[in-house]
C-alpha cells in the first residue's frame, strides 16, 4: 500500500495532513500520523490503525494536524519577519546615505511615471482624433499594459507613503508599530 491510498482515509479526520500525505512530503507526514496513532510509520500500519481507530486516536490525529498547522504558521511568520527585517535594514541604510541620488530616486521614478502616463494618454487622444479606426485596437491593447502600470504605480505609492512617514518621523512624530514588532509579539520572541 502507498501513502496516496492512506491519504483518503486520513483526509476524513485530518484533511490537511491527508492532503500533504498524498504529496511529495508523504513519508514525513506519514511519520507524524504514525506517531499520533502510536504505530510503525508504514502505510500499511497507519491504514490499519485508522480503520480500527478509537475516537481518542482520531482526536490525537486531529491534534497532530493542529500542531503541524501551528508549526507551519510559525515558520511562515519567521520567514516573513526575516524578510521585513532585511527590507527595513535596506531602507535604514538608504536613509542614512549621503548620496543625493538615493534620496531622489523616488521623485525621479514618480515624475517619470507621470510623464510616461501623460505621453501615452496624449498619443491615444491624438490617434482618436486623427485616425479613429486605428485608435480602437490601440485602446484595447492598453488593457494588456495594466499589470505594468499597476506595478509602477505601486512603487510610486509605496515611495510616497514611505517618504511621508520619513518626513513625519524627522519632524518628531511618534513612530507607529510595524509588522516586525507585531510578528515578534505573536510568536513570543
Residue 168 CB neighbours (<10 A): 13
> Torsion-angle region of residue 138: left (phi > 0), alpha (psi -120 to 50) or beta?
alpha
149-179: pLDDT as tens digits? 899 889 888 888 777 777 777 787 766 666 6
- Least confident residue range of 80-94, 97-111, 125-139: 97-111
Domain boundary assignment for the chain = 3-71, 99-174
CA atoms within 13 A on the CB side of 127: 13
pLDDT for the residue numbered 115: 95
CA distance 132 to 74: 57
Q: Report the percent of the chain where pLDDT is more than 90.
A: 13
Give the model's confidence band at 119: pLDDT under 50 very low, under 70 low, under 90 confident, else very high: very high
What is the torsional sign of CA 79, 80, 83, 86? negative
Which contacts qualify for 184-188: CB closer than 8 Å, 24 or more apart? 184/81, 186/77, 187/74, 187/77, 187/78
Amino acid at each position: 500500500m502507498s501513502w496516496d491510498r492512506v491519504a483518503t482515509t486520513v483526509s476524513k479526520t485530518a484533511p490537511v495532513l491527508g492532503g500533504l500525505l498524498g504529496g511529495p512530503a508523504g513519508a514525513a507526514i506519514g511519520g507524524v500520523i504514525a506517531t499520533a496513532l502510536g504505530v510503525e510509520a508504514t502505510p500499511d500500519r497507519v491504514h490499519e490503525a485508522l480503520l480500527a481507530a478509537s475516537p481518542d486516536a482520531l482526536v490525537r490525529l486531529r491534534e497532530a494536524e493542529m500542531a503541524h498547522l501551528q508549526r507551519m504558521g510559525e515558520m511562515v511568520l519567521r520567514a516573513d519577519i526575516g524578510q521585513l527585517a532585511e527590507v527595513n535594514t535596506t531602507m535604514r541604510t538608504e536613509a542614512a546615505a549621503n548620496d543625493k541620488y538615493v534620496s531622489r530616486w523616488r521623485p525621479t521614478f514618480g515624475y517619470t511615471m507621470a510623464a510616461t502616463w501623460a505621453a501615452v494618454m496624449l498619443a491615444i487622444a491624438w490617434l482618436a482624433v486623427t485616425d479613429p479606426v486605428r485608435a480602437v485596437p490601440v485602446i484595447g491593447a492598453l488593457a494588456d499594459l495594466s499589470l505594468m502600470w499597476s506595478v509602477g504605480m505601486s512603487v510610486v505609492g509605496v515611495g510616497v507613503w514611505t517618504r511621508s512617514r520619513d518626513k513625519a518621523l524627522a519632524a518628531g512624530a511618534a513612530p507607529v508599530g510595524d509588522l516586525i514588532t507585531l510578528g515578534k509579539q505573536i510568536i513570543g520572541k
